[in-house]
């Protein structure tokens, strides 16, 4: 009887250790996937920031140039702003689902290491 008790106690101890190890493994795998997604996102975010700054200055110059041509500086800013409003509406209406699917697929592929 005592032998069975020790055997059951040993089995319970091993099951407890297995459970702790499984939880630790799941945590490490989640950390690995998260770091993979974030580390692939950071360089892209940096390039997007640089392109945004570039486009800001190009658009600022374009607005000033158009304003000079129209003899009112603020006309140029309204024209450039209106253009981006039209582009934003077109993207929202016609490309929202495609862009959402693209980014969802990108994140899932990064998580699954494909």
Q: What average pLDDT is seen over the chain?
A: 89
Q: Dump pLDDT digits (tens) for 55-69.
A: 999 999 999 999 999
For residue 71, the SS3 value is coil
Provide the domain limits for residue 69.
Answer: 2-111
Q: What is the pLDDT of residue 114?
A: 58
CA nearest 76: which of 86, 88, 64? 64
For residue 90, the SS3 value is helix
Q: Dump pLDDT digits (tens) for 23-45.
A: 999 998 888 888 877 887 888 88
For residue 109, what pLDDT band results from cuts at 50, 70 and 90?
Answer: confident
How large is the average pLDDT for residues 46-62?
95
* CB burial of residue 80 (10 Å; 0-12, 13-18, 19+): buried
For residue 112, the SS3 value is coil
Q: What is the pLDDT of residue 90?
A: 93
For residue 74, what pLDDT band results from cuts at 50, 70 and 90?
Answer: very high
Global confidence as pTM? 0.59
Asked if residue 5 has pLDDT above 70, the reply is yes
Asked if residue 70 has pLDDT above 90, the reply is yes
Beta strands in the chain (DSSP E): none
CA distance 16 to 14: 5
CB 36 within 8 A of CB 114: no
Give the count of domains, the chain: 1
């Amino acid at each position: 009887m005592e032998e069975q008790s020790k055997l059951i106690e040993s089995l319970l101890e091993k099951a407890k250790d297995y459970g702790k190890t499984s939880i630790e493994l799941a945590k490490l795998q989640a950390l690995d996937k998260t770091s993979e997604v974030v580390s692939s996102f950071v360089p892209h975010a940096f390039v997007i920031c640089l392109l945004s700054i570039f486009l800001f200055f190009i658009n600022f110059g374009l607005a000033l140039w158009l304003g000079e041509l129209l003899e009112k500086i603020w006309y140029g800013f309204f024209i450039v702003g209106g253009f981006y409003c039209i582009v934003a509406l077109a993207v929202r209406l016609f490309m929202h689902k495609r862009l959402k699917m693209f980014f969802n697929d990108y994140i899932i592929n990064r998580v699954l290491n494909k």
